[in-house]
Amino acid sequence: MELLHSGKVRDVYADGEDLILVASDRISVYDVALPTPIPDKGRLLTALSLWWFEQVADLVPNHVISATDVPAEFAGRAIRCRRLEMVPVECVARGYLTGGGFAEYQRTGAISGVELPRGLVEASILPEPIFTPSTKAPMGEHDEPITYAEVVDKVGAETAEQLRRITLDVYRRGAEIAADRGILVADTKIELGWAPDGTLVLGDELLTSDSSRFWPAESYQPGRAQFSYDKQYVRDWATSSGWDKQAPAPELPAEVVEATRVRYVEVYEKLTGNRWD
């Protein structure tokens, strides 16, 4: 195998015509990889992504060839997948007002050019899910919100409409399934790429604690920050630490590592119904 790319969280290897996508235990916030791993994170993200790919298989195809035909040293945290020509847009769907979207709304009354009602507060449910794309920044730089018109300029009107439709379809399906299990999906980011036959295909990860914000429905209350089953806990710690959000990032305390792992395990179990061993 040949290492093609080592990203903030994943490593990509070429294996003949296929790719081997390996999820590490690294964690990133504000587009910077932290030096402290989260034990089991790579395996948890891989297992949850595979589960979600099955749940939305009727909506959009995915890049998975095999979760078992991978090198033994990567077993459980790697996927053999198809090569795709990735779309140069981060496809984000939001059903609630939080994170960077909330900050942008406070400044402009909109997110990625989508105008929203006045008077919304942190964690408000939106009138309907919205497509809020962003750039794909190089490692170490920050993704920036872009408008739908800018997506059209990048990829053309037909592809832009497909990106928006698929992203919102996947979000709605994920939110519906999660709601039945007591979980609110505040937002999610997906990756799409072109297969050789011209089909748009899901790649990377799907509806994981790294690419989504998951909130327990039972404690949801707009107007404040929510308990999150995702890396928001690490973002909050990083912000409170005084770190300037530029590399190098600080080490995570042991209690933050353990609390983050517990969140990842709990949401995996709640969503899939499977016990994490």
pLDDT tens string 47-91: 999 999 999 999 999 999 999 999 999 999 999 999 999 999 999
Confirm whether 188 is domain-assigned.
yes
pLDDT of the chain, 277 residues: tens digit per residue: 899 998 889 999 999 999 999 999 999 988 888 999 999 999 999 999 999 999 999 999 999 999 999 999 999 999 999 999 999 999 999 999 999 999 999 999 999 999 999 999 999 999 999 999 998 866 555 678 999 999 999 999 999 999 999 999 999 999 999 999 999 999 999 999 999 999 999 999 999 999 999 999 999 999 999 999 988 889 889 989 999 988 899 999 999 999 999 999 999 999 999 999 8
CA 168 to chain centre: 14
**Is 184 domain-assigned?**
yes
| Domains identified in the chain, total number | 1
Write down the pLDDT at residue 7: 86
- Whether 276 maps to a domain, the answer reads no
Residue 119: how many CB atoms within 10 A of its CB?
6
Q: What is the pLDDT of residues 10-42, one digit of tens each?
A: 999 999 999 999 999 999 988 888 999 999 999
Is residue 132 domain-resident? Answer: yes
Q: C-alpha dihedral over 4, 6, 9, 15, to 10 degrees?
A: 30
pLDDT for 143: 75
Tell me whether residue 124 is in a domain: yes
Domain extent at residue 140: 85-219
Q: Is residue 100 situated within a structural domain?
A: yes
Q: What is the pLDDT of residue 136?
A: 81
What is the structure's pLDDT at 30?
A: 85
- What CATH number is attached to the domain comprising 130? 3.30.470.20
What gap in Å lies between CA 28 and CA 189, rounded to an integer?
Answer: 15
Q: What is the pLDDT of residue 229?
A: 93
| 213 within a domain of the structure (yes/no) | yes
Confirm whether 7 is domain-assigned: no
